[in-house]
Structure 1
Amino acid sequence: MKTFHNFMQRVWMEKKRSVVMLWMIQGVLLLLRPDLDAQETLKKEQVYTNSIGIEFVLIPAGSFIMGEALRTECNTCNAALDETPRRNVSITKPFHIGRYEVTQQQWLALMDANPSRFKGDRHPVESVSWNNVQLFVYALNVREKTTAYRLPTEAEWEYAARAGSVTAYSFGEEASELADYGWYVMNSGLKTHPIGQLAPNPWGLYDMHGNVFEWCRDWYLADYYGRAPSKDPTGPAAGDGKRVRRGGYWGSSTRILRSSDRDFLLPEAAAGNTGFRLVKELQ
């Protein structure tokens, strides 16, 4: 009888330990659940298409080398003064950026008229001023009941364009390979081309080199890099009356298509070589 009693006591203790272990495992899973949910959400958000068909790619937070060195500092470097000093910049939050430049069809989904010089539904919209783009952004935010859409900062643009590279172009140093990645003076026929016809950069973004210049949110100052913060720079509080544009266009030389090259235009000016792509903040 005593032996049977001891046996039943051992069975009870084993069962009790099993229940406690089960509770512990469930507790750990509950603690991990927010992280697992966040990872699943992040995975789903790798590519996002909005209500007017703009496709976005999720860009991770990270650090990169922004700008370029002068030829006197580096034999293969070819910087203009406004690209210096070359420095480490951190982008502390992930964000979505357009896989392609905004097209004329997408522009017309919200705006009354297509101002583009080179017409085509899938061609990038151009001849739009920085001010015009703000109206488009406002209309898109209203349509989707959000405040998440905007132009990229200059730092976000270069971070996305470089896609982890430290070379002149996202694909390397050789300008002879540009015709595979971007529309410029040597292959464009001096006109825009439909989006996504050439190879993307390593993060899946098309036409970051050439086709049309792309507006950025920042004011332009030639000497801004010497005083810019290293974390999430958003440009000077006030510039010299011009806004930044990046990436080069259908008539650019190879030098202008470098990832670090900076350009600018008055915000009220609309040029047939200038369009844009959007950022959508994660909210």
Structure 2
Amino acid sequence: MSLVMFPRDFDDRRSMKHLILILTLIPTLLFSCPALGQDKYAVVVGVEVYDTSVFENLPWSDEDATHLGDALGGLGFQTTVMTSGSDSFRLRPTSASKIEKQIRSVAASCAAGDTLLISLSGHGVQFSDEPLLPSGVRETYFCPSEADLADKASLLKISDVFQLMSDAPATQKLLLVDACQESVLSETGRRKSAKRIELGSVHENRHSVPGGMSVLFSCKSGQFSWQHDPLQHSVFSFHVIRYLRGQADSRFYDNEQIDLSGLQFYVSKRTNDYVIGKGLSPDGQLPVMRGSSTNWTIGRRGLTGPRSILGMTFHPVATGVWFAETEVTRQQWRQRTGADPWGENGLNGDRFPATRVSWEMAKKFCEDLTRQARADGSITRSEKLDLPTLSQWTSVAQNTAQDNLPDIGWTSENSGKTLRQAATKTADSFSLHDLFGNVWEWCDSPDSDKPACGGSYRYPASIAVSDEASYYESDQAFSDIGFRVALINESP
């Protein structure tokens, strides 16, 4: 087992590989990637809500789990996501037995050549009155939402998770652990239990990891894992998700592969730099990998899963291109501009598409979004939020199943020739709402006349699915033209 430390000034992945060879004397052969496994499985757990008479709540753990699940789904994982806010009671991580049951069930589905990934985001504890394990550390526990510190059976032993994963026949196995939070016990909980609890304890501290699996801990011994409200995630999970979505700098991907080595390098460097740079802790937060040093491929960059940016959900439609799930709504427009260009229009409601927005106004809206998203780290410098090009829009339309158009679009045949709220029809095969009908959508073009596609509630279905766009001057605005934002990677 090797502990890899990352220098603060690391700026080259190849140099880091050389450093690892020097520090750990691992043969170069260990860094060769085996072929992709046949199937990929994941259980992602986020515990946000606790009994506040004992624990502090964690405001972003559900977001961590949900977005990590989305990222893994985009890489082909069959993903089970457990969160405090799940609509399914079965998928709420209220007890250790429920979490263990899900892990056991998924692990049993694995076969040789498969990939198994487990992620735990929540509180972790140790008990100072417990004896040391043979590895020299005390047992560590992950806390479900109904954890009872007086009943250890209500807690999930990390060693039990190790064993479940070790027993699984999958070939590639990775455990992500983000359970060493700085604030664990509530004020009441500290009065009751602080003397026998070691807080923020599930870090890399000499855990004995079974052979054949790797564990990425969110920090090293003596550090804490930090959540940061501007990220709407823990710092560790934010960077894990960014790497898996292919949003890290290109040097962290060998031949466009998303792999274990790149994940370790990127998350360790960026998490530590962020925590120090934002003044969260002068000690930093250095995620550490334990266990097997063999590298393996998790997936490939390119067409990945949904992205959540500034409160908007984007779905992949082509390599390096995502479309917003809905047209920009009145609420989204008003929140960012403070304006109501549509006026009364006889209709009230935040969920209606923003209309009477000219092409020029839509472009400026996208430019402002891009600046904000780059500033908060939601997108990279090579990505932008913009109107889709005409070719991008028509390509998506042509590849969308149109045989159920009445179910997915508001046209003159079913709308009563009245504007309808966004997302009141079934999503199409790209998980997009209202691509056809309801309002025309502006597309980007260098020409003086600007195209709008997809028809509207005032036009028949034959217009909605037509390959022909309508063209208008860039400063014109109409009651049945809106727009949809696209996320575009300019160097995918």
TM-score by length of 1: 0.63
Check conservation: 2:258, 2:301, Cα contact below 8 A.
Answer: no
| Structure 1 unaligned residues grouped into runs of 5+ | 1-21, 62-93, 220-238
Report SS of the residue matched to 1:244: strand
- Alignment of 1:247 with 2:451, yes or no, is no
CA distance in 1, matches of 2:410, 2:331: 20
Letter in 2 for 1:159: S
Describe the shift of the 1:41–1:124 C-alpha distance in structure 2 as closer, same or farther (beyond 3 A).
farther
1:226 corresponds in structure 2 to: none
Judging changes above 3 Å, is the alpha-carbon distance between structure 1 residues 186 and 45 closer, same or farther for their aligned structure 2 residues?
A: same
Contact 1:183 1:211 in 2 (8 A): yes
Report whether the alignment pairs 1:59 with 2:317.
Answer: yes
Moved more, 242-251 or 180-189: 180-189
Is residue 159 from structure 1 mapped to residue 159 from structure 2 by the alignment?
no
Kindly state the Cα deviation for residue 127 of structure 1 after the two structures are TM-superposed. 0.7
Deviation digits for residues 182-232 of structure 1, max 9, x if unmatched? 11112112222121111222111111110100000015xxxxxxxxxxxxx
Q: Which amino acid aligns with 1:136?
A: F
SS of equivalent residue, structure 2 residue 365: helix
Partner of 1:171: 402
Structure 1 residue aligned with 2:280: none
Report if the CA contact (8 A) 1:126-1:275 is conserved: yes
Query: Does residue 46 of structure 1 match 2:46?
Result: no
**In structure 2, distance between residues paired with 1:280 and 1:41:** 19
CA RMSD of aligned residues (A): 2.7
Instruction: Pick one of 207, 229, 233 that aligns with 2:434.
Output: 207
Higher relative contact order (CA 8 A, sep 6+): 1
Identity %: 25
- Within 5 Å, give how 1:8-23 maps onto structure 2: 23=27
Given the superposition, is the C-alpha separation of residues 102 and 27 from structure 1 closer, same or farther in structure 2, using an over 3 Å criterion?
same
Q: Distance in 1 between matches of 2:474 and 2:337?
A: 18
* Aligned twin of 1:269: 476
Kept after mapping to 2: 8 A contact 1:54/1:102: no
For residue 32 of structure 2, the aligned residue among 28, 31, 46 is 28
Residues in 1 aligned to 2:323 and 2:466: alpha-carbon distance in whole angstroms: 16
SS of the equivalent of 1:148 reads: strand
Give 1:171 deviation, angstroms.
2.2
Given that 2:449 and 2:471 are in contact with CA atoms closer than 8 Å, whether structure 1 keeps it comes out as yes
Question: Structure 1's 40 and 29: CA in aligned 2 closer, same or farther, altered over 3 A?
Answer: closer
- Pick one of 93, 96, 103 that aligns with 2:322: 96
* 1:85 corresponding residue in structure 2: none
Residue among 124, 129, 132 paired with 2:358: 129
Q: Secondary structure at the match of 1:139?
A: helix
Distance 2:300 2:338 in 1: 36
Letter in 2 for 1:113: A
Picking from 385, 390, 398, the partner of 1:149 is: 385
* Superposed displacement of residue 134, structure 1: 1.8
Identify, as 1 or 2, the structure richer in strand.
Answer: 2
User: Offset of 1:45 from its aligned partner?
Assistant: 4.6
Give the Cα separation in 2 of the matches to 1:130 and 1:101: 14
**Structure 2 residue identity aligned to 1:47:** P
Q: CA deviation at 1:119?
A: 3.2
Q: What secondary structure sits across from 1:109 in the alignment?
A: helix
Contact 2:386 2:486 in 1 (8 A): yes
Distance 2:468 2:348 in 1: 27
Distance 1:134 1:255 in 2: 28
Q: Secondary structure at the match of 2:369?
A: helix
Secondary structure (helix, strand or coil) at the match of 1:142 reads helix
1:183 aligns with 2:385: no
Distance 1:180 1:269, change over 3 A: same
Aligned residue in 1 for 2:332: 106
User: Where do 1:230-241 residues align within 5 Å?
Assistant: 239=447, 241=448
2:463 aligns with 256
Tell me: CA distance 1:185–1:44, structure 2 relative to 1, closer, same or farther (3 Å): closer
Q: In the alignment, which residue of structure 1 is the partner of 2:424?
A: 197
Change beyond 3 A, Cα 1:191–1:41: farther
Distance 2:413 2:402 in 1: 18
The two structures have a TM-score, normalised by structure 2, of: 0.38
Matches of 2:31 and 2:298, distance apart in 1? 19
Q: Is the 8 A contact 1:151 1:279 kept in 2?
A: yes
- Shift of residue 39 of structure 1? 5.5
The structural deviation recorded for 1:250 is 0.7
User: Secondary structure of 1:245's match?
Assistant: strand
Report the CA distance shift for 1:190/1:242 in structure 2 as closer, same or farther (over 3 A): same
The runs of 5 or more residues in structure 2 that have no matched partner are 1-25, 37-252, 260-296, 375-380
Relative to structure 1, is the Cα distance of residues 58 and 42 closer, same or farther in structure 2, using a 3 angstrom cutoff? farther
